[in-house]
């Protein structure tokens, strides 16, 4: 059940739940996320950002299409945090069904112009577009295109941005940061701002930097209109921490079938928690 970003998110918007966008960086992670999504009967967005694309290459996308087509749940394959028009064209040609153009660090007018250009090309190819307005923080070197400080999305700017670009969904800055939060930093979401923006624009809203946020904050964000939440660090930590433990038990271990099953199960536990938290479990029946 391969879907575009808009068609999969419109159902979430109409039914007030959020679809997890899980960032994967190898085939095993992709397979594990697909398996747990099917077990939970939950729609899923497979997100891949440029660093991950460089690692797995776009050659893997046709295989993802094949897996999605025989899946029992809706699946969108999403290019996360695209930085240039040329990159977005490459993503469309490679078979991504949804793309994000992130020009949030550029001046407003430049962000609008680039996003509108991407929307025109993507819509012509039947691919949907996510834009970003405001800047999401970065907690560590793995924070994709995050700014040092959060610049909250302005509601009036959001209305104008959506009208002038024609984006299908909008990533907003309401207090999240990419990466894992250090011990001395506590995430705090501006739910009042979220509610204001949702009422003003109406389209599906996206929350980036969803790892490490308290469950109650994320659940409230979903209830107020967030329809897509990106999860990367949390599932990767679960996956690789368990892998380190497995590898530490026997230095002779070398076969993936002996190493990866338990790390994948650990990742699936974390992913299942997010699916439940976002209200996505069982929602495949709505499509």
Positions marked active-site: 80
Flag whether 123 is marked binding. no
Flag whether 49 is marked binding. no
Residue 125 to residue 93: CA distance in whole angstroms: 9
Flag whether 55 is marked binding. no
Residue 67 to residue 213: CA distance in whole angstroms: 31
Flag whether 240 is marked binding. no
Cβ 158 vs Cβ 170: under 8 Å: yes
Flag whether 35 is marked binding. no
Residue 87 to residue 253: CA distance in whole angstroms: 39
Which two three-digit tokens encode residue 147? Answer: 């700014």
Three-class secondary structure assignment of the chain: CECCHHHHHHHHHHHCCCEEEEECCCHHHHHHHHHHHHHCCCCEEEEECHHHHHHHCHHHHHHHHHHHHCCCCCEEEEEEEECCHHHHHHHHHHCCCEEEECCCCCCHHHHHHHHHHHHHHHHHCCCEEEEEECECEECCCCCCCCECCCECCCHHHHHHHHHHHCCCEEEECCCCEECCCCCCCCCCCCHHHHHHHHHHHCCCEEECCCCCCCHHHHHHHHHCCEEEEEECHHHHHHHHHHHHHHHHHCCCCCCHHHHCHHHHHHHHHHHHHHHHHCCCCCHHHHC
Output the known binding site for Zn(2+).
81, 102, 132, 178, 208
């Amino acid at each position: 059940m391969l879907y575009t970003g808009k068609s999969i998110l419109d159902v979430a918007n109409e039914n007030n739940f959020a679809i997890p966008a899980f960032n994967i960086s190898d085939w095993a992670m992709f397979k594990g996320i697909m398996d747990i999504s099917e077990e939970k009967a939950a729609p899923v967005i497979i997100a891949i950002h440029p660093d991950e694309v460089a690692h797995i290459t776009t050659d893997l996308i046709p295989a993802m299409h094949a897996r999605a087509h025989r899946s029992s749940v809706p699946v969108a394959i999403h290019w996360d945090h695209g930085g240039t028009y040329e990159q977005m064209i490459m993503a469309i040609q490679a078979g991504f069904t949804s793309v994000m153009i992130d020009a949030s660090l550029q001046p407003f007018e430049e962000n609008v112009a680039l996003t509108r250009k991407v929307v025109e090309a993507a819509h012509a190819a039947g691919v949907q577009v996510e834009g970003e307005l405001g800047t999401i923080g970065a907690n560590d070197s793995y924070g994709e295109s995050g700014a040092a400080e959060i610049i909250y999305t302005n509601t009036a700017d959001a209305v104008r941005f959506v009208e002038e670009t024609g984006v299908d969904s909008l990533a907003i800055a309401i207090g999240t940061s990419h990466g894992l939060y250090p011990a001395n930093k506590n995430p705090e979401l501006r739910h009042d701002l979220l509610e204001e923006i949702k009422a003003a624009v109406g389209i599906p809203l996206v929350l980036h930097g969803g790892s490490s946020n308290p469950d109650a904050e994320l659940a409230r964000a979903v209830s107020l209109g967030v329809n897509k939440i990106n999860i990367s660090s949390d599932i990767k930590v679960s996956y690789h921490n368990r892998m380190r433990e497995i590898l530490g038990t026997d230095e002779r271990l070398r076969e993936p079938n002996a190493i990866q099953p338990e790390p994948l199960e650990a990742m699936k536990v974390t992913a299942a928690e997010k699916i439940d938290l976002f209200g996505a479990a069982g929602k495949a029946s709505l499509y």
